Each structure stands twice: as C-alpha cells, then as structure tokens.
C-alpha cells in the first residue's frame, strides 16, 4: 500500500486537529491581552482540546494519507497517538484549572504554551521525515522548558527548567548529529527513502550503528530511558504538578510514537504476519533489549532508595515504566507493539491519576513529601487515598487492575519471542517496585496522622477527574478487549 | 607533491620551537609562589572584590533575546524570496500566514511591555 | 582546489567533540549553552557538506531549521538564566543544586 503524498492545500483537510490547535494558540495569546479573568483562557483551552479529540477521532474512519509532500502522515498509528496525546493534554488542562500552583502564578500564556506543546506532540506522532521529527521534538522541548519553569518566583522551578534545558539541548543536538549521519548514509531525510536505501545495501553497518546510537540519545531523552534519564527526577520534582503529569504522560507517549515510527519504518522490514526483520546490518533490537533491562532496574532501585519527595519517586517510577515499555519494542513484532500501545494508554490513566492525588494533597497542605501523606485516609482524604492505592497497585501490576493486563501482554510478547532473561528481569523488577509503591500505601492507611499534616479536602472539579481515571483503571482491568483490538489495528499501518 | 606542504612544515616548526621555549622555561625556571605574585594585576592597585561583581542591566538581555528571536525568522524569507515568482499566489499566502503569526508574537511582546526601555 | 567531503566530516566531528567536552567540563551555564551551540554548528557543517556530496537540497534546508531552533533555544535559555540570576545572583552550575536526593 503506497499512499501518494498530497500537496500543501490538499493536506489541509486531513490536518484539522492541528489547524484548530494552532489557531487556538494564536487566539489564546491575543485573548491574554484583553481578558482579565485568566481561568477563561483555561476553559477555552479545554474546549479546544475536546474539539481536537473529536476531530482526530473522526479521521479514524477516513483513509491514510501522506501529507505535505511526505513530511507527515495521517494513519491509524498516528491517530491512536493523537487521541492519546490530546486526551493527556485535556486531562492536564483540567488538572491545571484545579491546581493551586497554577492559580497562584496565574498568567494567560500558560494555556497557550501548553496547547503549543500539544501541537508539537501531535506532529511527533505523525512525522515521517527526519526534519519534521526533529522540529516537532524541539518544539515540544522548548515549550516544556517554559512550562516547567512556569512558577517564575520558585527557585526550585527555575532550577528544574535550567537543567531540563541543558540536558535537552545536548540530547537533541546529539540526535540531530546522528540524523545528519543517517542522511549521509542513506541520502535522504524521508523514512521510506531511508528504508529503501538501506534495503539496497547502501550505507556501511558500523557508521550506521553509531548514527543510530546518536539518534537514540534524543529519543531516549524524551521517553526518559537510561542513560538519558538524568533530567527526569529534577524536572518532575521542580515543575508544577500538572506540568509534571503532562511530561510524564504526553512527552513519553509522543517519544515512543516517534521512536516506533522511525525504527520500524526506516530501520526494519516487515516480513508479513506482523513480524519485522532488521535492515542495514544493525542489530538495534539487541541494543533496546539491554537498554530496557538497565532502565527498569535503575528506575526501580533508585525509587526504592527515594524516601522523601513523592513527585521524585514517581519520576523514578516513570523511568522504570519506560523500561517496561521498551520490552515491547525489542521483540520486533506487532504483538510487542500492541502491548506497548496498550500499556501506554493504561499508563496514562494510572500515572495521571497518581499525580491528581499528589496535586490534591499539595493543594490542601502544600506538601509533596512522603511524611505529608501520613494517615491520609483518616484526615478527610479517604477518597484520594483509596484512588491512590488503586493507581499504585496498578502501576505495580497487580490483578485485577489495568496495569496487570498491560504487563501481561508485554510479558506474553517477550516470552513468545523466547527472550526469557528479559522476562525474568521484568518480573523481578515488578516485585521490587512493590516495595516502594506499598510504602506509600502503608503511610496513607496504616500510619496515624500526628495532627500537623492538615486536612485534605476534595472539590468536585478534581474529584470528578480522579473518579474518571479510577474508573478507567478499574474497567480496563476487567474489560480490556476493545482497547487491545484498537491498539492491534493501529500497529498494522507501519508495515510496507 | 602538495604545494601547501611547505606551509605545513613551517607551522610544525613554529609549534616545535615555541613548545621547546615554553616547555624549557617551565621545566628549568625557578618557581617561587607568594601571595603578591598570585594576585590579579590591576595596574598596581590591590584588586577589589570578585570578578562576578560586574553588573549588566537586565534590559540588555531582554532586548537581545527579542532581537535574536525575530531576527532569525528572516532566514526563512531568503529561500522564499529566491523562488518567489515560481511559488505564485500560493507562496505569498503561505508567507502571509507566517508573518501574521510573527506579528501576533510582536503584538504580544509589545502589549506586555517587553519593548519598554525604562 | 577540491576539498574532499571527509575533511568536512572530520572537522565537524572535532567541533562536535569540543562542544561536548565544553558541556561536560564548564561550570558557567552561559558557557555551557555556547558549547551546545557549537555542537549544533558542527551538525550544520555536516549537513551542508553531505548535501553537496549527495547533490540534494534537503541538507541545506534542514540547516535553516537547525539555526532557528538554536536561536529559540538560546532565547529560552537566556530567559531562564535571567530568572535564576535574579533569584540567586549566580549562573554557576555548582551553586545551583537545590534539587538533590
């Protein structure tokens, strides 16, 4: 199946979500100049994102097409991620509207920058060209720096933003250097043309391997995989909580989307029945396999050692989860990718939910440290405490929650490919992760409040979001069929 | 024989001679450290405070940032101008959208007061 | 005189390595940011040299974008420096260490 590339004007009809989002960014900047009540801008952003979700979903019934002379593509795979990313942004805006941190620093440009970042994420999910991929990734990075340093008078936030900028600059610089090598070796920036060139035996294996390693730096940085994870704990801790949630869910998902698209369409060849073969003599699946094991082990061990800040702990947990998801990447078939896509969706629900609870506690008490959760269930926060327990056990991968189903599919794909070592390391890691997740649950339920922690109140706005995410985590734990089918269908678009 | 080889040899000789001279004086010369010698030379006066004490007004930075951001966008207009006629009305429209977005940015910057010097 | 493409690539690799070394060893954040710019310039050189070698315009086109992105990065970077500097009167990497475990 060879979708012919459409020209600029013909492409517009397929990029309605992006156009709406881009127009909204411009509109929000202008509105910021005239509107005095800044929450209005948040409402506008919320409505825009709802519209983007609907418009993206509508495209699911249309045909696949290569747009803008082959720079981006609209197909089932891109749309799966667009839906996920738009929903992540929607939840982030919802969270931001109920966040004390954002309200205190209330300026209008926050909403515009958040939507701009979402626009970059959508392009990351759909780019089929190295230039477009680089631009989208940088766009997301630049807006993320601004978002994480948004609390201008907080020393912590500025420092986080600075570290993010330095790591990000180096990582993306390394990535584009790797891309320049790929361009030199394959003679094109287009994923499909690179694939064709590699299939015809063009490009020596060793330089190509180096180029891939360099390129992996930028992608690994976006998904926070070892050894490009260093920014994550600092930035997660320093940024406002909704922004942290956005980075943990949105950035990571888009990073995986781009990574899958690049490696599976440019660096691999489909041999039918959903199985892929390496091209160009570069065994990147072995590399990813090692990366996956190291990432999850590092993330979990660091999280076990982490006693203080809960946001920082969730940062290490998110590194570990990047490791789990890379397992599906290493097996080189549609089953693995399907498991990855499914896990990303589940991860969206449970991780975002955990951050909503963190925000509720911080809203009421201003605390983010583990001691601030002491006896949470017994001082007004019974609902968030129960929800948090559900999210954390789901993150661990305990049945009957969604996280268990996600992990089950990942491990099934790995075992089927007979990568037993990877499976064993993965299971051991899940056991280790129980240590620190259970520690939070124990602090919330089994320890009595000493009285100094303050009462945690739940307003309907945040409560509704928390409820929806909890229901999602519970429902996907028992009725995962439709989503896994949808994820499976979405992976078929990569092969050609 | 490459005609530039003489130049290369000359460069190499320079480096070697200079290296020997610096290296020998470093190896053979006496080294006496004292407080007065390690101080920064400021025309005979004792140095005042740390070098980091030098202050720049912040508004220079702000203006510089804004200049860099708007200045670099011209880079896209050069290739556009080269093929302007071939692109026709379509190209003009696309560039108009680009400039309009920039104009919104400028209006925003203006309105929030980043262009005020005082 | 026709300079072969390898020379450009080696030069670019050297510049890239110098930039990397600068990021790793320097302590002043402004100098670190300059080193990152150096890395991006090495990338630009590689792209332009390869673009000539391959007789394709793609490489030259991407350089425009890399330049713009570099400028945007500097702008955001300087803005963050200003925020940090007004808070603590320093842009030294060793002194900015609030976030540790």
The residue assigned the tokens 């891939």 is A212
Inside any domain, residue A352: yes
Sign of the alpha-carbon torsion through A246, A254, A181, A212: positive
Q: Does residue B17 surpass a pLDDT of 80?
A: yes
Inside any domain, residue A181: no
Inside any domain, residue A330: yes
B96 interface with A at CB cutoff 8 Å? no
* pLDDT, mean of residues A227-240: 89
Give the pLDDT score at B50.
Answer: 62
Report helix angle A130-148 to A205-223, nearest 10. Answer: 30
Give the pLDDT score at A1.
Answer: 40
CA A3 to CA A66: how far, in whole Å?
6
Inside any domain, residue A416: yes
CA B16 to CA B22: how far, in whole Å?
10
Give A401-433 pLDDT, tens digit per residue: 999 999 999 999 999 888 889 999 999 999 999
Beta strands in A242-304 (DSSP E): 268-270, 276-278
Least confident of A130-144, B13-27, C69-83, C84-98: C84-98
Q: Which residue of C67, C78, C82 is in closest CB contact with B72?
A: C67
Q: Which of residues 26-85 of C touch B (CB under 8 A)?
A: 61, 64, 67-68, 71-72, 74-75, 78-79, 81-82
Task: Return the closest-CA partner of residue A443 out of A364, A380, A372.
Answer: A372
User: What is the SS3 assignment for A127?
Assistant: strand
Cis, peptide link before residue C51, omega less than 30° from 0: no
| pLDDT higher at B20 or C78 | B20
Give the pLDDT score at C101.
Answer: 44
Sign of the alpha-carbon torsion through B107, B108, B109, B110: positive
Q: How far is A406 from chain C (nearest CA, A)?
A: 31
The domains located in chain B, with CATH, are: 5-111 (1.20.58.1610)
Least confident of A28-37, A138-147, A452-461: A452-461
Which residue in chain A has the smallest CA separation from C86? A153
- Contact between A313 and A439 (Cβ < 8 Å): no
Q: Which domain holds residue A362?
A: 299-496
Inside any domain, residue A285: no
Asked if C98 lies within 8 A of A233 by C-beta distance, the reply is: no
Inside any domain, residue A421: yes
C47 interface with A at CB cutoff 8 Å? yes
| DSSP string of chain C, one letter each residue | ----HHHHHHHHHHHHHHHHHHHHH--BHHHHHHHHHHHHHHHHHHHHHHHHHHT-SHHHHHHHHHHHHHHHHHHHHHHHHHHHHHHHS--BGGG------
| pLDDT higher at B50 or A5 | A5
Residues 6+ apart with CB under 8 A from A437: A317, A392, A393, A395, A396
Give the pLDDT score at A459.
Answer: 85
Give C35-52 pLDDT, tens digit per residue: 999 999 999 999 999 999
Sign of the alpha-carbon torsion through A453, A391, A82, A459: negative
How many structural domains compose chain A?
1
Residues 6+ apart with CB under 8 A from A310: A358, A368, A369, A370, A372, A373, A440
Count, residues in chain C: 101
* pLDDT, mean of residues A92-110: 83
Inside any domain, residue A457: yes
Inside any domain, residue A208: no
In chain B, the percentage of residues whose pLDDT exceeds 90 is 22
């Amino acid at each position: 199946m060879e979708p012919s590339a459409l020209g600029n004007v013909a492409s517009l009809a397929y990029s309605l979500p992006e156009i709406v989002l881009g127009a909204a960014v411009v509109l929000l900047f202008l509105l910021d100049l005239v509107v005095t009540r800044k929450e209005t801008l948040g409402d506008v952003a919320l409505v825009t994102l709802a519209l983007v979700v609907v418009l993206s979903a509508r495209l699911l019934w249309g045909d696949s097409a290569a747009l803008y002379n082959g720079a981006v593509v609209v197909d089932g795979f891109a749309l799966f991620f667009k839906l996920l990313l738009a929903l992540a942004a929607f939840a982030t805006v919802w969270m931001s509207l109920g966040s004390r941190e954002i309200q205190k620093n209330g300026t209008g440009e926050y909403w515009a920058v958040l939507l701009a970042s979402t626009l970059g994420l959508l392009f990351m999910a759909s780019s089929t060209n190295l230039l477009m991929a680089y631009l989208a990734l940088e766009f997301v990075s630049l807006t993320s720096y601004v978002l994480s340093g948004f609390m201008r008078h907080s020393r912590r936030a500025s420092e986080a933003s600075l570290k993010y900028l330095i790591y990000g600059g180096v990582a993306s610089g390394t990535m584009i250097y790797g891309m320049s090598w790929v361009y030199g070796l394959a003679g094109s920036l287009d994923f499909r043309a690179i694939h064709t060139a590699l299939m015809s035996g063009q490009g020596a294996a060793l330089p190509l391997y180096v180029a891939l390693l360099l390129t992996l730096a930028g992608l690994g940085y976006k998904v926070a995989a070892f050894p490009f994870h260093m920014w994550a704990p600092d930035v997660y801790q320093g940024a406002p909580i909704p922004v942290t949630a956005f980075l943990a869910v949105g950035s990571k998902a888009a990073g995986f989307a781009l990574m899958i698209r690049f490696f599976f369409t440019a660096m691999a060849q489909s041999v039918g029945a959903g199985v892929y073969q390496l091209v160009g003599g570069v065994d990147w699946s072995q590399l990813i396999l090692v990366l996956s094991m190291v990432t999850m082990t590092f993330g979990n061990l660091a999280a076990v050692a982490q006693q203080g800040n809960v946001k920082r702990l969730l940062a290490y947990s998110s590194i570990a989860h990047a490791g789990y998801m890379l397992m599906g990447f290493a097996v080189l078939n549609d089953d693995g990718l399907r498991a990855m896509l499914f896990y990303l969706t589940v991860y969206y629900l449970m991780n975002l939910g955990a951050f909503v609870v963190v925000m509720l506690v911080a809203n009421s008490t201003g605390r983010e440290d583990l001691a601030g959760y002491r006896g949470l269930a017994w001082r007004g926060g019974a609902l968030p405490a129960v929800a948090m327990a559900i999210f954390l056990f789901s993150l661990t991968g305990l049945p009957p929650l969604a996280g268990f189903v996600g992990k089950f599919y990942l491990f099934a794909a790995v075992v089927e490919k007979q990568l037993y070592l990877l499976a064993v390391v993965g299971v051991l890691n899940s056991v280790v992760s129980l240590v620190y997740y259970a520690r939070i649950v124990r602090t919330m339920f089994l320890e009595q409040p000493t009285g100094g922690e303050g009462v945690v109140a739940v307003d309907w706005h945040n409560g509704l979001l928390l409820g929806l995410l909890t229901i999602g985590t519970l429902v996907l734990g028992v009725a995962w069929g439709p989503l896994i089918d949808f994820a499976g269908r979405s992976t078929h678009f990569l092969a050609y | 024989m490459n005609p530039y080889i003489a130049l290369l040899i000359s460069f190499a000789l320079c480096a070697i001679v200079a290296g020997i001279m610096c290296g020998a004086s470093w190896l053979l010369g006496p080294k006496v450290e004292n407080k007065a010698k390690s101080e920064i030379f400021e025309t005979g006066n004792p140095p005042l405070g740390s070098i980091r004490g030098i202050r720049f007004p912040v508004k220079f930075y702000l203006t510089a940032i804004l200049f860099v951001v708007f200045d670099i966008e011209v880079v896209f207009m050069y290739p556009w101008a080269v093929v302007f006629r071939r692109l026709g009305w379509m190209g003009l429209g696309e560039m108009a959208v680009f400039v309009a977005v920039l104009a919104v940015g400028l209006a925003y910057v203006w309105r929030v007061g980043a262009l005020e010097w005082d | 005189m026709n300079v072969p493409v390898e020379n450009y690539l080696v030069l670019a690799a050297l510049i890239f390595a110098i930039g990397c070394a600068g990021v790793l060893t320097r302590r002043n954040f402004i100098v670190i940011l300059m080193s990152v710019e150096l890395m991006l310039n090495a990338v630009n050189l590689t792209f332009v040299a390869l673009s000539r070698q391959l007789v394709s315009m793609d490489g030259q086109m991407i350089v425009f974008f890399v330049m713009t992105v570099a400028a945007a990065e500097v702008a955001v970077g300087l803005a963050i420096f200003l925020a940090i500097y007004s808070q603590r009167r320093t842009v030294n990497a060793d002194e900015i260490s609030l976030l540790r475990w």
